[in-house]
């Protein structure tokens, strides 16, 4: 098809005059920064686990605990509680507000500064979680964690994209999503073991252990270098940036990349209001990508799995321990898929992973919906065989997300936005993710209670729409240097009209100025 062919084009060499390799210095810097993904993942995994623990529910959400024991309450409605969903989703409203503030800090003071702020606040929030004695303390815990994640999720993908060599940018940036998966996996494993503490205080360990990855990131960020892009943008010190680039790339031949960074930085310094500028017509493709990819990321239903996997598995009949173990299994599948994504994203490109993962998730959501519609009744537990079939299908779903929409949601917007709007674009991505995470987290249990198995058909419909969007409107960006990314819009079948019209207006304006001068 002509459309598909026209959007694929991208330079095959990934160089455009650039040279270098993945050096140990790049790897070490990106490992420390990428570990911030563990914070996000740990929180996603831990909240669903503790809310499925009877000891936690008895102490903080007794109404939910009583609903679980009531045989007259539909299985779909056992965990339906506004207060419980506020506990889960309040973090994301705090994160939404924080990431908008983080944009100016990241742009003005650097990526490292935002990481340090985020990690420090996250540590303080973990203390409130472990020491919680009432619901307000739990909410303070969630709000502080949200502020920390707002800063780290806004700055880390930028840091990784700017530090990585262009030809390996996808793999290195996908390391952030791998860290998210590892964080969720660690949280699920921890929940599985602390549930066995008969005294009923295991949830305190789960909530307070979030301080460990936060401390690692905070201490590590003190020793991280700033990115070459920020060094040039901040003080114009090209000599310092050249030395850092040579160390990062393992070669002295960095002049071409340095020249592109200087050009991008000059334009960035002339842009005083990035949030206002990203609304300009010439940045329309980047704005649409930042908004829609982050929106679609959440309507896949992935955070239903991240938040409520233990809750959902308990709903369909698995016991407390088995439901937590099932969450570990699904996360192992996701982590394996993340590793595959890191290996193939720069070889096969972003579009192919988006499309393959989309089809995989569509089939999974429709299959789960069909099984629940046929075999799961309001007041009867599902047969174990079908319950485990749901588990297997969910494993297929999370694997599809883990090598497509999971890592690429943060990678693609970061690499398509030019330096002058990059921090604003990343803030939009994180803000939309947090907003939609809040909406999904706040409404899912109510929606599940009301429309039951049809919930999964709704998610499947959204995935159909987003896969079509990728096929028609998202160009391939693999291996192309970020400072040359405007090329993908100029040759795209749809976006070249938008960008072309803007350039025609510029040329017409320049012509009028020249004529008036005559």
Per-residue pLDDT tens over the stretch 39-50 = 988 987 888 778
Band of the pLDDT at 4, cuts 50, 70, 90? very low
The answer, yes or no, to whether residue 405 has pLDDT greater than 90, is yes
288-300 burial: b if 16+ Cβ within 10 Å, else e: ebbbbbbbbbbbb
Q: How many helices (H) and strands (E) does the chain have?
A: 25, 0
The reported pLDDT for the residue numbered 11 is 39
Band of the pLDDT at 75, cuts 50, 70, 90? low
Percent of the chain with pLDDT over 70: 89
Across 317-321, 326-330, 490-494, which has the greatest mean pLDDT?
Answer: 490-494
Tokens 């340090």 locate to: 116
The reported pLDDT for the residue numbered 391 is 85
Sign of CA dihedral 52, 57, 61, 62: positive
**Average pLDDT rounded to a whole number, residues 226-253:** 89
- Topology of domain 24-226+272-499, per CATH? Growth Hormone; Chain: A; (1.20.1250)
The reported pLDDT for the residue numbered 22 is 84
Q: How many CB atoms lie within 10 A of CB 255?
A: 12
Task: Answer yes or no: are the C-beta atoms of 420 and 267 closer than 8 Å.
Answer: yes
Of 439, 452, 448, 458, nearest to 80 (Cα)? 448
Q: How far apart are CA 278 and CA 268, in angstroms?
A: 12
Of 103, 171, 186, 99, nearest to 407 (Cα)? 171
Q: Which of 116-120, 255-259, 360-364, 445-449 shows the lowest mean pLDDT across its residues? A: 445-449
Which position has the higher pLDDT, 17 or 511?
Answer: 17
pTM above 0.85, yes or no: no
Task: Answer yes or no: are the C-beta atoms of 201 and 123 closer than 8 Å.
Answer: no
- Which three-class secondary structure state does DSSP give residue 270? coil
Of 177, 206, 223, nearest to 38 (Cα)? 177
CB proximity list for 409: less than 8 A, separation 6 or greater: 293, 294, 297, 429, 433
Of 254, 251, 252, 228, nearest to 240 (Cα)? 228
The reported pLDDT for the residue numbered 318 is 64
The answer, yes or no, to whether residue 16 has pLDDT greater than 70, is no
Of 135, 111, 170, 148, nearest to 60 (Cα)? 135
Band of the pLDDT at 6, cuts 50, 70, 90? very low
**Average pLDDT rounded to a whole number, residues 273-300:** 91
Q: What is the pLDDT of residues 340-395, one digit of tens each?
A: 999 999 999 999 999 999 999 999 999 988 988 888 776 667 777 887 888 889 89
Band of the pLDDT at 82, cuts 50, 70, 90? confident
**Average pLDDT rounded to a whole number, residues 466-476:** 95
The two tokens of residue 221 are 């960020």
Band of the pLDDT at 518, cuts 50, 70, 90? very low
**Average pLDDT rounded to a whole number, residues 169-180:** 87
Q: How far apart are CA 420 and CA 107, in angstroms?
A: 9
Q: How far apart are CA 509 and CA 417, in angstroms?
A: 25
Indicate the domain borders of the chain: 24-226+272-499
Q: Which of 30-39, 89-98, 308-317, 476-485 shows the lowest mean pLDDT across its residues? A: 308-317
The answer, yes or no, to whether residue 9 has pLDDT greater than 50, is no
Helices 24-34 and 169-194: angle between axes, nearest 10 degrees: 40
């Amino acid at each position: 098809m002509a459309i598909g062919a026209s959007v694929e084009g991208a330079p095959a060499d990934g160089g455009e005059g650039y040279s270098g390799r993945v050096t140990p210095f790049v790897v070490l810097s990106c490992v420390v920064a990428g570990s911030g993904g563990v914070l996000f993942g740990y929180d996603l995994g831990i909240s669903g686990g503790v809310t499925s623990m009877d000891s936690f529910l008895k102490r903080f959400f007794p109404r939910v605990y009583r609903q679980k024991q009531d045989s007259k309450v539909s299985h779909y409605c056992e965990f339906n509680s506004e207060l419980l969903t506020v506990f889960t989703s309040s973090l994301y409203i705090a994160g939404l507000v924080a990431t908008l503030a983080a944009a100016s800090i990241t742009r003005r003071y650097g990526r490292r500064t935002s990481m340090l702020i985020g990690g420090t606040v996250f540590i303080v929030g973990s203390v409130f979680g472990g020491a919680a004695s009432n619901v307000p303390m739990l909410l303070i815990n969630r709000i502080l964690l949200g502020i920390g994640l707002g800063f780290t999720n806004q700055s880390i993908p930028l840091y990784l994209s700017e530090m990585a060599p262009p030809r390996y940018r996808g793999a290195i940036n996908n390391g952030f999503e791998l860290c998210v998966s590892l964080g969720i996996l660690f949280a699920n494993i921890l929940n599985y073991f602390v549930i066995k503490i008969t005294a009923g205080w295991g949830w305190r360990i789960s909530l307070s252990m979030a301080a460990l990855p936060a401390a690692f990131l905070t201490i590590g960020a003190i020793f991280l270098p700033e990115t070459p892009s920020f060094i040039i943008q901040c003080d114009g010190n090209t000599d310092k940036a050249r030395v850092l680039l040579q160390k990062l790339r393992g070669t002295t031949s960095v002049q071409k990349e340095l020249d592109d960074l200087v050009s991008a930085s000059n334009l960035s310094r002339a842009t005083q209001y990035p949030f206002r500028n990203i609304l300009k017509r010439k940045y329309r493709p980047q704005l649409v990508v930042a908004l829609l990819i982050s929106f679609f990321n959440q309507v896949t239903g992935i955070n239903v799995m991240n938040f409520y996997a233990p809750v959902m598995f308990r709903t369909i009949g698995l016991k407390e321990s088995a439901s937590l173990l099932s969450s570990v299994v699904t996360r192992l599948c996701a982590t394996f898929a993340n590793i595959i994504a890191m290996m193939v994203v720069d070889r096969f490109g972003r579009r192919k992973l988006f499309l393959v993962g989309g089809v995989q998730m569509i089939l999974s959501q429709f299959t789960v919906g069909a099984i629940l519609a046929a075999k799961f009744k309001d007041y009867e537990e599902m047969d174990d065989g079908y319950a485990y079939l749901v588990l297997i299908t969910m494993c297929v779903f999370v694997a599809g997300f883990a090598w497509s929409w999971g890592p690429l949601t943060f990678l693609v917007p970061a690499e398509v936005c030019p330096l002058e709007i990059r921090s604003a674009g990343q803030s939009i991505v994180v803000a939309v993710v947090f907003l939609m995470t809040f909406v999904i987290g706040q409404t899912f249990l109510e929606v599940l209670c009301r429309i039951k198995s049809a919930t999964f058909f709704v998610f499947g419909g959204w995935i159909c729409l987003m896969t079509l969007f990728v096929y028609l409107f998202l160009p391939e960006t693999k291996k192309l240097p970020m400072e040359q990314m405007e090329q993908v819009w100029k040759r795209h079948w749809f976006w070249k009209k938008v960008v072309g019209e803007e350039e025609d207006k510029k040329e017409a304006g320049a012509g009028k100025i020249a004529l008036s001068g005559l």
